[in-house]
Structure 1
């Protein structure tokens, strides 16, 4: 799945939400998708291979591809909403281990990320 960053003309870039990393009009691969029970969406996007992939509000992006990576699975949340992404990433403590720079988690991330990107190369 790919999205295009639309920018946020009514909102200045905010270092807290990370939007200053994105270039309006540029496409990005979505590595993970979360939908809240309120209808909000969060997209996990890697803006730089040197930085941890972050979660960003979907309201500033438009979908440009509907290809769902074969590595994704779906998890329905008890209180509503759902997550779609690699099973290992959306369950358990995977992202906590990534923030701690766990070598095993980082290696698993790289393999899965590369597989997702190979299924739908950049435009």
Structure 2
């Protein structure tokens, strides 16, 4: 799934900006994950250029969908927080906690799937 950024609202200042955390207006990005929260807010995780982080969540309304194809590695999880479409390896309980604690398995799972998603979207 690929999207083009149409608008960025700075998370702390709540003001429009041209670029933030490697994401720029007009840039095209691979969607790593989609979340639909219990309040019906829809967010997408995209990876910014040269970003050290695993990508930030952004309001889907600030992006145009260029390619709506769903990656084969995604799995659907529905829980009390809402709905998540993300790589199955990232859906295991505690994955993000392990990732931020620099657990080697979580870091390897993240990198493996990230490469797969970026390679697939480049085709």
Shorter-chain TM band: 0.7 to 0.9
Corresponding residue for residue 55 of structure 1:
57
Q: Deviations 1:54-88 (Å, cap 9, x if unpaired)?
A: 22222221211111111001112246x31101122
Q: Does the CA contact (< 8 Å) of 1:14 and 1:20 recur in 2? A: no
- Matched residue count: 117
Cα distance between partner residues in 1 of 2:11 and 2:35: 21
What's the Cα RMSD here? Answer: 2.2
Please give the alpha-carbon distance, in whole angstroms, between the structure 2 residues aligned to 1:56 and 1:16: 15
Q: Which has the higher strand share?
A: 2
2:87 counterpart of 1:106: no
Contact in 2 for aligned 1:73/1:85 (Cα 8 Å) = yes
1:26 paired to 2:27: yes
Check conservation: 1:67, 1:120, Cα contact below 8 A.
Answer: no
Unaligned runs of 5+ in 1: none
Partner Cα distance (1:31, 1:41) in 2:
14
Displacement, 1:43? 1.1
Classify 1:104/1:92 alpha carbon distance in 2 versus 1 (closer, same or farther; 3 Å). same
| Structure-2-length-normalised TM-score | 0.81
Moved more, 41-50 or 103-112: 41-50
